[in-house]
Structure 1
Amino acid sequence: MRTRVSAALSAFLDRQEAEVLRLISPDLVEPAEALRSFLDGGKRMRPAFCYWGWRAAGGARADEALEQAALVAAASLELLQASALIHDDYMDGSDTRRGKPAVHRRFEALHRVGGWEGSPERFGAAAAILLGDITLTWCDEMFTRSGFDAARIHAARPVFDLMRSEVMAGQYLDVLAQSRGLSVASPAEILERAETVIRFKSAKYTIERPLQLGAALATGDAAETGALSVALSEYGLPLGEAFQLRDDVLGVFGDPAATGKPAGDDLREGKQTVLVALAAARADEVRLKLLREGLGDPDLDAAGVAALQEVIVDTGALESVEERIAQRTRRALEALDGAPVTDEAREVLGELAIAATSRLG
């Protein structure tokens, strides 16, 4: 699946570079190369769930043209993911992504090496914003021209549009939560805020919406997809939340060799995750003060990260999040058991559920 998605993305980028970017200016070769590098990696989770949503609704590999269209449509979601991550890395001030320099850092370095005028940081920020914008635009273009007929694209368009709106809304709520900090709301409000962020910034557009998108492409009929769409939501939403909760754990305790980001990066960025919200709610005065002072400190060193990790463990927040991951995964698998999907799709979606929640990076 990853190989086929990567091939579809590569073919699309080849065409965009040859037919658009190079015709505009040779100076656009560097942005094209940056996007190739950025897209060369990742778990391809969203394309996988989109494709298997298509198969779950009756999409069959026997028709080669439809099979290829399903792969291309699914692969387009990697461009939406790229847009979100490029912008997210700039907003969070992240230095790396998947073990490579974040896009804004890459273009800062290009500016410095070139000895150009002005601020390298402003140039890097501008480049990241624009590359995030173009990948969002290309996501729409790749999806629309995937090879499905107009009726199927039209049937899937409401899910596609809603998915993109939800992730942008979730991103804003994430930024807002970081800006408000831990001092302006009750522990219950902080936790509710964190749960809303994971639902809309990640859970829905990682699993639930891709599944529903694939199903809509398979049937081409909103009425026919209705009952299946509900069943896919009952599987996809709790699984998406479990996926993001695992991501939150990795953002604090993950091995940089596996995650591609420095240990404790979410703490330096001030991410108000469910993990942090639970720790804040359960911490005594001393631990809460330590958490408030360290969270969001970009200069937090290894000792500072270790101190906050200790707070999270000692308050039971880590154990509680692991329990939530297990509970939501079980709920998803129980929903899958009763879902009106093909046997093959049920088996693969069960395997994907385990892969999404037990990963190391």
Structure 2
Amino acid sequence: LNMSSVPLTSLQEFEEFISVFPKLKQDIIDTLPGKKINQEIIDWIGLSIDVNPIGGKYMRGLSVLNTIKDFKGVEQLDEETIFLGRVAGWCIEFLQASLLIADDIMDGGIMRRDRPCWHHYPNPLIKNLNGVEQPIGKIAVNDAFIMESCIYILLKKYFREKPYYTEMLELFHEISHNTFLGQLIDTSACHSLKGDFSSFNLKNFFHTVRFKTAYYSLYIPVALGMLMCGINYLDPQYDAMKELLLEIGEYMNAQDDYLDCYELPENMGKVGTDIEENKRSFLICQALNYATPEQIEELKKNYGIDNPENVKVVKKIYNDLGMKEIYRKYEDSQYIDFIKRIENMDDKVPKIVFIRLVNRCYKRNR
């Protein structure tokens, strides 16, 4: 199979995925009047739904239907299966929305997807004070919970009668739990003493991002697609598949860390702050492997301090170490390794599932 010939998602698939969203939003809103919720609150939830799951690349959501197509064959799919594949994909996007709201609050984020983070949005229930809009603020924590609850409203409506409904619920609960654990591990590393690099190594980095990112970004879309095809994704024969998906997820997070430092904010849709936040990122963990004792001392003095001058010192050390080139070598070697492993896999899982995901990640710039 020619790796470069495997199509990514077409514009038509992208637009058809988006086209399902208004109906799903309405399904969620329709559950509220029966709870005697007043219109102001309904409008708030409607606004939150309009803003938070929308505006990303939808890689996770689109991957569910792609997986179903790859396992069953496009000619075997009826309209209901296609629609349900998109609904399941949107459930992952709602999970992502809940995680991003919480992550932005914890990280003190300002921009997300080229607009203010949700906690910086104007509070629709508070009138302007002296012409100044009041932000949503900490109540956004509750909106993160609401975004997660939308998953289960949609699963109940569309999958309750399906034989795999219980497994679907368990999968979302397990993946959510893993992701929350990963977020805690990541945040706890940020709160370590400034200049304490004792836990800053690649082993800990990959362990953290496996839980924080890989399970919900790479594993659940494929597992859901398999489940909807009647395939037991937990069967030990798929263990190698799971491991490869999680490693692709780790690779994707290393890319995120590189882009956080080097890509322009206007291209990323957000401002990178890993250095300021004392993040145990791929770049700092790699830099510590190459730095001289003097450079490590400089990193200890400057890393994790929210000041442009300190950030400048860290980035200069990164440049002196050739971190861009070190990252590029990692990116290329991982890609080659993934392709070799995919080519050597047996045919229990269509290889196109993995090739599409790897090609979507490789050399991305946002």
Q: TM-score interval w.r.t. the shorter chain?
A: 0.7 to 0.9
Match of 1:55 in 2: 69
RMSD of the TM alignment (CA)? 2.8
Distance (Å, rounded) in 2 between the aligned partners of 1:145 and 1:7? 18
Where do 1:126-137 residues align within 5 Å?
A: 126=139, 128-137=140-149
Q: Greater CA deviation, 317-326 or 63-72? A: 317-326
**Aligned equivalents of 1:74, 1:288: Cα separation in 2:** 44
Decide which of 353, 356, 360 is 2:361's aligned counterpart. 356
Amino acid in structure 2 at the alignment position of 1:195: F
Q: Distance in 2 between matches of 1:105 and 1:310?
A: 32
Matched, 1:102 2:114: no
Residue 193 of structure 1: aligned partner: 204
Does residue 340 (structure 1) correspond to residue 347 (structure 2)? The answer is yes
Cα displacement string for residues 241-291 of structure 1 (whole angstroms, at most 9, x for unaligned residues): 1111111101111111210112x4222222211211222343334433443
Aligned equivalent of 2:278, options 270, 285, 298:
270
Give the CA deviation at 1:182.
5.5
1:159/1:39 Cα in 2 relative to 1: closer, same or farther (>3 Å)?
A: closer
Aligned residue for 1:25? 38
Q: Equivalent residue of 2:52, what SS? A: helix
For the Cα contact (< 8 Å) 1:72–1:142, is it kept in 2?
yes
Match of 1:287 among 290, 295, 319: 295
CA offsets 1:80-130 (integer angstroms, 9 cap, x no match): 00011000000000111011000111146x5775339xxx67x5112x101
Rate the CA distance shift 1:156–1:31 in 2: closer, same or farther, 3 A.
Answer: closer
* Counterpart code for 1:129: V
Change (3 A) 1:100 1:199: same
Q: Which residue number in structure 1 is paired with residue 178 of structure 2?
A: 166
Please, which runs of 5 or more residues in structure 1 have no aligned partner? Answer: none
- 2:239 pairs with 1:230: yes
Q: Which amino acid aligns with 1:186?
A: S
- Separation in 1, partners of 2:311, 2:33: 43
* Stretches of structure 2 lacking an aligned partner (at least 5 in a row): 1-12
User: Is the CA contact (8 Å cut-off) linking 2:70 and 2:353 kept in structure 1?
Assistant: no
The one-letter code matched in structure 2 to 1:88 is: D
The separation in 2 between residues aligned to 1:235 and 1:281, in whole angstroms, is 25
The residue identity in structure 2 corresponding to 1:255 is L
Residue matched to 1:71:
86
Q: Which segments of structure 1 move beyond 6 Å, counting only runs of 4 or more?
A: none
Q: In structure 2, what is the equivalent of residue 330 of structure 1?
A: 336
Moved more, 66-75 or 46-55: 46-55
Identity value in percent: 21
Alignment CA distance shift 1:35-1:293 (3 Å) = farther
Displacement of 1:174:
0.5
Q: Hey, what's the Cα distance between the residues in 1 that align with 2:348 and 2:19?
A: 28
Aligned residues: 348
Aligned pairs for 1:141-156 within 5 A:
141-147=153-159, 149-156=161-168
Q: Output the CA distance in 2 between the equivalents of 1:21 and 1:293.
A: 56
Q: Work out whether residues 218 and 249 of structure 2, in 8 Å CA contact, stay in contact via their aligned partners in 1.
A: yes
Identify the match of residue 207 of structure 1 among 218, 242, 252.
218
- Measured in 2, the distance between the counterparts of 1:105 and 1:21 equals 28
**AA matched with 1:296:** G
Shift of 1:340: 2.5
Supply the AA of the counterpart residue of 1:358: K
1:351 match: secondary structure: helix
Worse-superposed segment, 86-95 or 27-36: 27-36
Q: What is the distance in 2 between the residues matched to 1:296 and 1:27? A: 41
Inter-partner Cα distance in structure 2 for 1:16 and 1:36: 12
Give, in whole Å, the separation in 2 of the partners of 1:143 and 1:232.
25
Aligned mates of 1:37, 1:184 — CA distance in 2: 38
The CA distance in 1 between the partners of 2:105 and 2:86, in whole Å, is 30
Separation of aligned partners in 1, 2:357 and 2:273? 27
Classify 1:332/1:37 alpha carbon distance in 2 versus 1 (closer, same or farther; 3 Å): same
Task: Give me the whole-angstrom Cα distance separating, in 2, the residues matched to 1:76 and 1:57.
Answer: 20
Report the Cα distance in structure 2 between the residues aligned to 1:351 and 1:210, rounded to whole angstroms: 13
Mapped to 1, the partners of 2:110 and 2:339 lie a distance apart of 37
Q: Which residue of 1 aligns with 2:107?
A: 92
Show CA shifts across 1:158-205 (max 9, x none): 433221111100000010000014544536x54332221111101222
Take 2:288 and 2:97, find their aligned partners in 1: how far apart are those partners? 32
Does the Cα contact within 8 Å between 2:68 and 2:225 map onto a contact in 1? Answer: yes
**CA offsets per residue over residues 289-330 of structure 1, 9 Å max, x none?**
4433433333x22x5444322212323444333333333333
The alignment status of 1:36 with 2:50, answered yes or no, reads yes
Q: Is the 8 A contact 1:231 1:335 kept in 2?
A: no
TM-score normalised by length of structure 1: 0.85
